Structure 1
Amino acid sequence: MIKIGKKPVEIEFVVGDITTQNIDAIVNAANSYLSHGGGVAGVISRKGGPTIQKESDEYVKKYGPVEPGGVAVTGAGNLSAKYVLHTVGPIGDKPQNDDIIVKCFINIIKKSDELGIKTIAIPFVGTGIFGYPLERFIENVTKVLINYLKDYEGTLQKIIFCDIDGYKVNKFEEYFLAKFKDKG
């Protein structure tokens, strides 16, 4: 566990099922139409029940598709969390996708503050079925967290990066610890 910022935010890395974490909110790696069929989105939707997809469909009907880097919020259905924050991450290995992942994380933090979220679990957005390179995810998200949270005074107290793939989790944790130490 690492703490960052004036009002410290704990950063934790967990190998496991994101839907079973004891937190206020879960982040979902979504597509623009919030159709939760595969990957982590499918798991969250299946375990959370039909309410999540129903609320997602209503959101898109009311506001239109979610732009890349944007965040939409629904309830968490049958999950123990209160909210699901659906973010549209990068697709594929394109340089402009680095800006999208940065925007995702800034918007996740801002939306968490708006909702008074204290604890949140986040998957490795875009690195699964959407094909964004793990290395670039790790580099960009580390940069955002270290720079954005150093002066952060919002509601978040704990961010858990969670995936069932231990390789991803361990690689991110090692990189993050090394960079955090360099900035410390």
Structure 2
Amino acid sequence: MSKLNIVSGNILEHLKDKDLIVNSANQYMIYGSGVCGVIYKKANKELLEDYCKQHYKENMIVNEVRITPGFDLGLSILHIYCPKYYESKTPLLDLLDSYNNIFITAKKKGYKNIVSVSLGTGVHGYKHNDIAKDIVIRLDELVKQYDIDFTLILPSEEIKQLYGLR
């Protein structure tokens, strides 16, 4: 039975037994700020950027998913260009679609154990207080529907409380 795990900490400390890490990518698929930068550094920034340039000529569109090798990470990377709260007419629905797209793609490609931060809560403008309940409800549905384990990494114990204890 698949499981949703919610933990706090650094995403790089939770890679054991995972086969896919979610990168909240910028539309250009280049090294960025926040978790994107952390993932690119750990994967080998030069190799990952070169791979992206060679395989993807167009910029990403909102909620598009692309998968690349993880190089030095030891697991694949699922890149998703998440919606920006302040640019969306239906921000919560668009963000929930991000999670749907992750699971649809992961299932299609045979991934079983995903690790991700809470999408959109950095520079994209979503507030944990506003989205936590809906994200947990959707993730509970998705892990069961797609039979995939999902570990959600949050930046602190305080924020983890908003998503519920697990």
TM-score, scaled to structure 2: 0.86
Q: What is the distance in 2 between the residues matched to 1:29 and 1:101?
A: 12
From 134, 138, 142, the counterpart of 1:140: 134
Equivalent residues of 1:92, 1:133 under 8 A apart: no
Q: What is the distance in 2 between the residues matched to 1:33 and 1:163?
A: 25
| Local SS of the residue matching 1:169 | helix
Deviates more, 1:138-147 or 1:25-34: 138-147
- The gaps in structure 2 that reach 5 residues or longer are none
Q: What is the distance in 2 between the residues matched to 1:165 and 1:59?
A: 36
Equivalent residues of 2:5, 2:151 under 8 A apart: yes
Determine if the alignment matches structure 1 residue 163 to structure 2 residue 154: yes
- The gaps in structure 1 that reach 5 residues or longer are 1-7, 178-184
1:47 paired residue number: 42
Q: Is the alpha carbon distance of 1:36 and 1:100 closer, same or farther for their aligned partners in structure 2, counting shifts above 3 Å? A: farther
Equivalent residues of 1:12, 1:161 under 8 A apart: yes
Question: What letter is aligned with 2:161?
Answer: N
Q: Is the alpha carbon distance of 1:167 and 1:53 closer, same or farther for their aligned partners in structure 2, counting shifts above 3 Å? A: farther
**Which string of whole-angstrom CA distances, capped at 9 and with x for unpartnered residues, describes residues 16-50 of structure 1?**
22123211110011122212220100000011102
Which structure exhibits the higher relative contact order, with contacts defined as CA atoms closer than 8 Å and separated by 6 or more residues? Answer: 2
- Matches of residues 98-117 of structure 1 in structure 2 within 5 Å? 98-117=92-111
| Local SS of the residue matching 2:134 | helix
Over the residues paired in the alignment, what is the CA RMSD in angstroms? 2.0
2:77 paired residue number: 84
Q: What is the distance in 2 between the residues matched to 1:172 and 1:70?
A: 25
| Local SS of the residue matching 2:62 | coil
TM-score, scaled to structure 1: 0.78
Q: What is the distance in 2 between the residues matched to 1:37 and 1:59?
A: 19
Equivalent residues of 2:20, 2:114 under 8 A apart: yes
Q: What is the distance in 1 between the residues matched to 2:143 and 2:7?
A: 20
Q: Is the alpha carbon distance of 1:59 and 1:99 closer, same or farther for their aligned partners in structure 2, counting shifts above 3 Å? A: farther
From 28, 41, 46, the counterpart of 1:33: 28
